[in-house]
């Protein structure tokens, strides 16, 4: 088996035992990028020289007898919304084109400390606003299963990179589903940790009460290893949880659901859901029962209002956060001809530098926060948020985890929803409640839809700081399906 098809855990072991060098592993992935990324467009920036330099350092340290972590020497693709002091950081926006941040995000720093090799920065919907990467100012990424379709979003470059074997691991951020939805539609694993479990320091803010960094991988154990590598308390993020990281790696190795109580969310299914998605989901419910889990239906009555509440809360926070792009201290400046005022330059710059979806959300948020509308929109949405958390609390009294399809449909064609924001927003229908409540949730592959042969994801939701339960159930599903399919789902993907 070639190096690019190995798991991250195997690569880490090969490098540690010096059966393969980090330089060889890195070069193999750089060669793959050179071979296929002209078709996939997962990366906005690749720095081969810097990656090989990092790999040489890891090899030297191992030769010197340093004991490094389990992912030392393993390449990773990094979402271009985390600051990196040695690479540009654009957030998929023209307003930050060519910007080189003066500091590393905490997630970036921890990847480096763990000896992971950052290959480059991946494409995303501008400022993580979108479900397809079509809102990137640098063009869309493509789904490796069918290049005419979206790889999900906003972290679509990261999902496409991992699904096309350009990297065994990647980072993402999940504000309304931006890790789980891209993982589902590309047939890989994507995890949204508990809010506050992974640091937002150096993550360019979209909606600060929702934004959560998390891992992508081709299997559950690799995702757990990556989450463990970059998680934990960070004093530079005031919402970081000062508690031990849940035992995610142990849970991913355990993968057992016997006696576990699993709730199927009654509100997610039926009209608007693709039949092939529901068929694979119901098959997975049967599988979990056959593995010894007790499956019951659970009602979460407020979940039907999560989408409208989210599209008031997230734009409100975005309208405030994106005020920092003012053309004064960094980024684009347009129209500064010596006659215009700072305010005029600001408005011209923002009009030129932001794409349509970002403008829509800034104006929507400004509207929801304006005096006279605040109580009816933002205030009411915050109350709905409380009720969604209460629905989760009540559900987790009855069951250990909740499950649903990750997305209502498989990957849609590029262009299909590009100028229909409401249709685009529906892609996050099932993922948003966990962002509003801050609990952990993962997507793992559960098969291919009959009508289009495209991947379907199973979402597993666990309580706040119950991240290990997501991995435990995810690993059990993965093992059972891999046995049934005779290999991982991605082995069925067409060659690029």
Partner 1 sequence: MSAITRDEVAHLARLSRLALDEGELDHFAAQLDQIVGAVARVAEVAAGDIPPSSHALPLTNVFRPDEVRPCLTPQQALSGAPAVEDDRFRVPRILGEEA
Which residues are annotated as catalytic?
79, 154, 178
Among 66, 97, 297, 344, contact with partner 1 (rule: CB under 8 A)? 344
In the complex, what is the shortest distance from the CB of residue 348 to partner 1, in angstroms, rounded to a whole number?
A: 5
Handedness of CA 103, 107, 113, 115 (dihedral sign): negative
Taking the least distance from each CB to partner 1, the nearer of 166 and 434 is 434
Among 57, 380, 492, 496, contact with partner 1 (rule: CB under 8 A)? 380
User: Binding string, 79-118, against partner 1, x = CB under 8 A?
Assistant: --------------------xxxxx---------------
In the complex, what is the shortest distance from the CB of residue 332 to partner 1, in angstroms, rounded to a whole number?
A: 7
333 binds partner 1 (CB under 8 A): yes
Closest CA to 54 of 89, 78, 79: 78
User: Roughly what angle, to the nearest 10 degrees, separates helices 8-16 and 22-40?
Assistant: 150
If DSSP codes are grouped into helix, strand and coil, which group holds residue 320? helix
- Residues 12-71, interacting with partner 1 (CB under 8 A): none
Q: Count other C-beta atoms under 10 Å from residue 376's C-beta.
A: 11
Among 230, 305, 471, 481, contact with partner 1 (rule: CB under 8 A)? 305
| ∠ CA 79-81-86, rounded to 5° | 85
Name the region of 115 (left: φ>0; alpha: ψ -120 to 50; beta: rest).
Answer: left
Which residue's structure tokens are 């009602």? 299
243 binds partner 1 (CB under 8 A): no
381 binds partner 1 (CB under 8 A): yes
154 preceded by cis ω (within 30°)?
yes
464 binds partner 1 (CB under 8 A): yes
Taking the least distance from each CB to partner 1, the nearer of 367 and 485 is 367
The window from 182-190, 223-231, 245-253, 432-440 that contacts partner 1 (CB under 8 A) reads: 432-440
Taking the least distance from each CB to partner 1, the nearer of 145 and 425 is 425
321 binds partner 1 (CB under 8 A): no
Which residues, other chains included, contact 336 with Cβ-Cβ below 8 Å and sequence gap of 6+? Answer: 327, 345
Taking the least distance from each CB to partner 1, the nearer of 38 and 371 is 371
261 binds partner 1 (CB under 8 A): no
Among 46, 265, 346, 442, contact with partner 1 (rule: CB under 8 A)? 346
Which residue's structure tokens are 């950052």? 118
User: Binding string, 272-291, against partner 1, x = CB under 8 A?
Assistant: --------------------
103-115-241-325 Cα dihedral, nearest 10 degrees? 30
Token pair in block for residue 326: 């003012």
In the complex, what is the shortest distance from the CB of residue 340 to partner 1, in angstroms, rounded to a whole number?
A: 6
Q: Count other C-beta atoms under 10 Å from residue 314's C-beta.
A: 27
Which residue's structure tokens are 């004064």? 328
């Amino acid at each position: 088996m070639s190096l690019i098809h190995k798991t991250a855990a195997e690569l880490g072991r090969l490098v540690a035992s010096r059966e393969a060098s980090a330089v060889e592993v890195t070069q193999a992935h750089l060669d793959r990028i050179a071979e296929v990324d002209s078709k996939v467009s997962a990366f906005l920036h690749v720095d081969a020289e810097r990656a090989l330099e990092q790999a040489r350092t890891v090899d030297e340290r191992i030769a010197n007898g340093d004991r490094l972590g389990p992912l030392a020497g393993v390449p990773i693709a990094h979402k271009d919304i985390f600051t990196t002091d040695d690479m540009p950081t654009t957030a998929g926006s023209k307003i930050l084109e060519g910007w080189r941040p003066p500091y590393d995000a905490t997630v970036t720093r921890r990847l480096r400390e763990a000896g992971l090799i950052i290959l480059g920065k991946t494409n995303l919907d501008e400022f993580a606003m979108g479900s397809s990467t079509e809102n990137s100012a640098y063009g869309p990424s493509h789904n490796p299963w069918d290049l005419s379709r979206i790889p999900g979003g906003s972290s679509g470059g990261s999902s496409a990179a991992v699904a096309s074997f350009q990297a065994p691991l990647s980072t993402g951020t999940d504000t309304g589903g931006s890790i789980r939805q891209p993982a589902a539609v590309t047939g890989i694993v994507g995890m949204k940790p508990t809010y506050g479990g992974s640091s937002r320091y150096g993550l360019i803010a979209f909606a600060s009460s929702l934004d959560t960094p998390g891992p992508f991988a081709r299997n559950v154990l690799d995702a757990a290893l990556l989450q463990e590598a970059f998680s934990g308390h960070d004093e530079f993020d005031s919402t970081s949880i000062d508690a031990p990281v849940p035992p995610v790696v142990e849970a991913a190795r355990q993968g057992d659901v016997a006696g576990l109580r699993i709730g199927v969310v009654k509100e997610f299914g039926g009209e608007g859901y693709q039949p092939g998605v529901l068929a694979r989901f119901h098959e997975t419910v049967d599988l979990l029962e056959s593995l010894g889990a007790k499956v019951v239906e659970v009602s979460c009555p407020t979940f039907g209002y999560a989408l409208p509440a989210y599209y008031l809360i997230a734009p409100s926070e975005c309208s405030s956060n994106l005020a920092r792009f003012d053309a004064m201290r960094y980024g684009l400046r347009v129209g500064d001809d010596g006659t215009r005022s700072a305010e005029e330059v600001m408005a011209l710059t923002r009009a030129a530098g932001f794409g349509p979806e970002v403008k829509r959300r800034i104006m929507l948020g400004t509207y929801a926060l304006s005096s006279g509308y605040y109580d009816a929109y933002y205030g009411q949405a915050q109350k709905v948020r409380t009720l969604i958390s209460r629905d989760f609390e009540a559900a987790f009294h009855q069951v250990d985890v909740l499950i649903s399809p990750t997305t209502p449909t498989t990957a849609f064609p590029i262009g299909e929803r590009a100028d229909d924001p409401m249709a685009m927003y529906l892609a996050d229908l099932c993922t948003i409640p966990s962002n509003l409540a801050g609990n952990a949730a993962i997507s793992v592959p559960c098969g291919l839809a009959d009508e289009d042969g495209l991947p379907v994801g199973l979402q597993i939701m666990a309580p706040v700081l119950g991240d290990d339960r997501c991995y435990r159930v995810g690993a059990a599903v993965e093992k059972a399906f891999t046995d049934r399919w005779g290999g991982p789902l991605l082995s069925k993907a067409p060659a690029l």
